[in-house]
Amino acid sequence: GKGDLKGAIVIKRTIQKAAVLGSGVMGAGIAALLANSGISVLLLDIVPEDVPANETQHPVSKGNKLVRNRLSKDAIKRILHQGPAAFTSKRNVERVKTGNMEDDIAQLQEMDWIIEAVVENLEVKKNLFQVVEKYKGADTLVSTNTSGISIHSMVKERTKEFKSHFLGTHFFNPPRYMKLLEIIPHTETLPDVISLIKSFSENTLGKGPVVAADTPNFIANRIGTFGLLSTVHHMLESEWSIGEVDSLTGVLIGRPKSATFRTLDIVGLDTLLYVTKNHSNEIRGREAEVLQPPPFMEKMREKGWLGSKSKQGFYKKV
């Protein structure tokens, strides 16, 4: 049980209860994936917009105006509307309880695994882990779903115990269908923690886990963002249309219809633009040049044309 080995490092053997922090595109999908595998899930987001800022005293949401547009109580509705449906049965829907970071944070104490899936921003994630450290159980595993921010930099200031139970678990979109899971250990992550997540993701979640080093954008997004932005630059030079590019990179070469821009609409343009900036000083030269998004993408973001999560993206929402 918990707390009966004071001072000793305690390692979990099973995962039955999980919390997912952030109920956006990925958090919602990950919550449904876990529920489909029989796990009880607590899905938390920041407080809704309609709560005046001065009434929110919690360190997480206080003054955090970054993304306050998603009501946690609407999360299930949103997951159900994610097509194709993320849940495999109605019963699984009931395994997910939703809440918010202010009222429900104390429940983190009981969790076997906490998965962070908030906005791709180092400062937001760092602040969140500082709070999670205070509330989590001694043996609770904590992971981040970051697309490519340094695992090390997020938890530099956390305790040794926190770091030993911390790692990156990068799910792909949509989590129910994408097999790949990148596992990114911290230099201090305990080997037993890595092997538990590896076997759990493989045997219980049905994923194909790959262990990646803590380098910018890890493996898939390091290659993926380069490929995607190269395509966009070529498109502009050659004056192709969005639809032409989707055909050329999709059906015409035997890939799914959703090839380039339809996929981007599912990912979210805001998230893509954050990920292209995850290169710090380690990426230089031609790769860094290609990763510079063209101005029209920044303009779309300014207008809020983010893709499926807004009303407009490269395609109009149907």
Q: According to CB under 6 A, which residues from 144 to 173 bind ligand NAD? A: 145-147, 172-173
Q: What is the Cβ-side half-sphere exposure of residue 151, based on CA atoms within 13 angstroms?
A: 27
Residue 267 binds ligand NAD (CB under 6 A): yes
Residue 117 binds ligand NAD (CB under 6 A): yes
For residue 192, give the H/E element and its range.
helix 191-199
CB count in 10 Å sphere of residue 166: 27
Stretch that binds ligand NAD, among 12-20, 25-33, 106-114, 236-244 (CB under 6 A): 25-33
Q: How far is CA 201 from CA 120, 179, 256, in A?
A: 23, 10, 26
Tokens of 6: 């004071």
Nearest alpha carbon to residue 150 among 179, 172, 175, 126: 126
CB count in 10 Å sphere of residue 208: 10
Among 23, 189, 225, 260, binds ligand NAD (CB under 6 A): 23
Residue 21 binds ligand NAD (CB under 6 A): yes
Q: Residues binding ligand NAD: what is the number (CB under 6 A)? A: 31
Residue position matching structure tokens 């000793």: 8
Q: Taking the complex as a whole, how short is the minimal distance between the CB of residue 155 and ligand NAD, in angstroms?
A: 15
For the beta sheet containing 96-100, the strands, ordered from the edge strand earlier in sequence to the opposite edge, are 96-100, 40-45, 17-21, 113-116, 141-144, 166-171, 180-185, 208-211
Q: Taking the complex as a whole, how short is the minimal distance between the CB of residue 271 and ligand NAD, in angstroms?
A: 4
Stretch that binds ligand NAD, among 82-90, 118-126, 156-164, 199-207 (CB under 6 A): 118-126
Site map (CB under 6 A) of ligand NAD, residues 287-316, x = contact = ----------------------x-------
- Residues lying near ligand NAD in the complex (CB under 6 A): 21-27, 45-46, 60, 64, 66-67, 70, 101, 117-120, 124, 128, 145-147, 172-173, 267-268, 271, 275, 309
